[in-house]
Structure 1
Amino acid sequence: MIGNDVPDLAEMPDDWRRALAVVAHPDDLEYGCAAAVAGWTDAGKEVVYVLATRGEAGIDTLAPDACGPLREREQRDSAAVVGVDTVEFLDHRDGVVEYGTALRRDIAAAIRRHRPELVVTLNHRDTWGGGPGAPWNTPDHRAVGRAVLDAAADAGNRWIFPELEERGLAPWDGVRWVAVAASSTPTHAVDAGPGLERAVRSLLCHRTYIEALTDQDPEEYVRSFLAGTTGGAADRFGGRPAVTFELFPR
């Protein structure tokens, strides 16, 4: 315990075999939790990535029809670095993802298809936290994160989206937790140390996006960013660099 009212971060549960990570854009997982994914796959766990968009609206200097395929390639390369072989795209439009039944249905279908015990997503809250003046979160992150939390239950209810069962996707009520990465109110963490170098290389695979984002040397930028995010939680996790999650049990 640090201070009087900030609890230590608990270890993430590890008694599971399959995880499904669902986020809005290429690079969301690399900025959010790739070091944890590397550790999980090293331990023999299966992790699948599902992205709502191909990130086609993410680079101002590239038209969407050129940007989307490029960012898809970068995402597949970055996933492979941390041991993830399966990457799927739902083809919602980047920048205008809408929370609603269509998005919930697509995510519920992915959950039924892959049958995970753990579902991972990115911060669904309005801001990135940190009190007054905290940066505003993007509409896509908010929409996808909220839909993931809802779809974890939808996937197990045969009377919600019955058309999925008609497509051969039987209900799956085996999701035990939804873990939200980059939450401003984390409850659990994974030791980032063993997977940190691969997390750096994984994020570096998004070189086109990074070079459009900053004039800093890409590797310096990536190492500084990941050292800051994982090191910032160390005092709540026994001094270890940490990938943090807000864990919602089901």
Structure 2
Amino acid sequence: MAATGSGLPDGVTRVLAVVAHPDDESFGLGGLLALLSDSGVPAAVLCLTHGEASTLHGRPGDLHAVRADELARAARELGVTRVELAGHPDGGLTGIPPHRLAAEVTRLLDEQRPSHLLVFDEGGVTGHRDHQQATRAALSAARRADVAVLGWTLPQDVADRLNEEFGTSFSGRDPAACRVVEPVPRGRQHRAIACHASQASGNPVLWRRLELLGDREYLRILP
């Protein structure tokens, strides 16, 4: 799909986002979810883990509970209409039978009837195995339901810059093969990020990524 000027793809009328961890909906998809809300497009979120294994702990308390609360507050900031938080082990999604994860996505597809799923691009964007598994589950369910899938991705130059500066493992795409969505409402995304206080502090990669992207995000139609 060639790059386009701006805006969401045609035919997006209701969205279900499938992510691995609380904060993925804000740190990664936040600009897009805020844009959907501003455009009057209902969006729900299925998050597969509580993110309890994170090495970041910017708030006191048990991360299992803390991050569930952060997700709920961030979702309200983004205008998400529904959040469902599953209890799979953080860092262990690859150990869950794929059909079980796909069945959870299918259940919400049946309930929400979205026109599109929204996920991290194939490869997980960050290289995290949980991100990859969440996307695989969403794609499996989407194939059965014949629902289109939008993959949030990074342009190759931004991925390369982050990897060079921080030693990360981001994967990027040729911008000419993506849809460019602009402008995205970063103010709402920043407020949602602030809801994830346990994870947002001490996270320079996040802020550098947003700086490099400016008011643009990039999407691919996944097979």
Normalised-by-shorter TM-score class: 0.7 to 0.9
**Secondary structure of the corresponding residue to residue 217 of structure 2:** strand
2:149 to 175, 178, 188: 178
Shift of 1:179: 0.7
**Secondary structure of the corresponding residue to residue 57 of structure 1:** coil
TM-score normalised to structure 2 length:
0.79
Change in CA separation of 1:101 and 1:205 when aligned onto 2, cut-off 3 Å: same
Q: Give the corresponding residue for 1:144.
A: 134
Distance in 1 between residues matched to 2:178 and 2:3, nearest whole Å: 8
Shift of 1:208: 1.1
**Greater share of helix:** 2
Distance in 1 between residues matched to 2:57 and 2:179, nearest whole Å: 38
1:196 counterpart = 2:186: yes
- The residue identity in structure 2 corresponding to 1:180 is G
**Secondary structure of the corresponding residue to residue 51 of structure 1:** strand
**Secondary structure of the corresponding residue to residue 87 of structure 2:** coil
Q: Give the corresponding residue for 2:121.
A: 123
Change in CA separation of 1:43 and 1:8 when aligned onto 2, cut-off 3 Å: closer
Corresponding residue pairs, total: 198
**Secondary structure of the corresponding residue to residue 37 of structure 2:** helix
- The residue identity in structure 2 corresponding to 1:122 is F
CA RMSD of aligned residues (A): 2.5
Q: Give the corresponding residue for 2:168.
A: none
Identify the structure with bigger relative contact order (alpha carbons < 8 Å, sequence gap 6+): 2
- Structure 1 runs of 4+ off > 4 angstroms? 221-224
Change in CA separation of 1:187 and 1:47 when aligned onto 2, cut-off 3 Å: same
Distance in 2 between residues matched to 1:23 and 1:37, nearest whole Å: 13
Q: Give the corresponding residue for 1:104.
A: 102
Shift of 1:201: 1.1
Q: Give the corresponding residue for 1:17.
A: 13
TM-score normalised to structure 1 length:
0.71
Q: Give the corresponding residue for 2:66.
A: 70
Shift of 1:9: 4.0
> Radius of gyration: which is bigger?
1
- The residue identity in structure 1 corresponding to 2:116 is L
Cα-to-partner distance string for 1:133-163 (whole Å, 9 max, x where unaligned): xxx6111011111111111122x3xxxxxxx
Unaligned runs of 5+ in 2: 155-171
Residue identity (%): 26
Residue 15 of structure 2 contacts residue 44 of structure 2 at CA under 8 Å; is this kept in 1?
yes
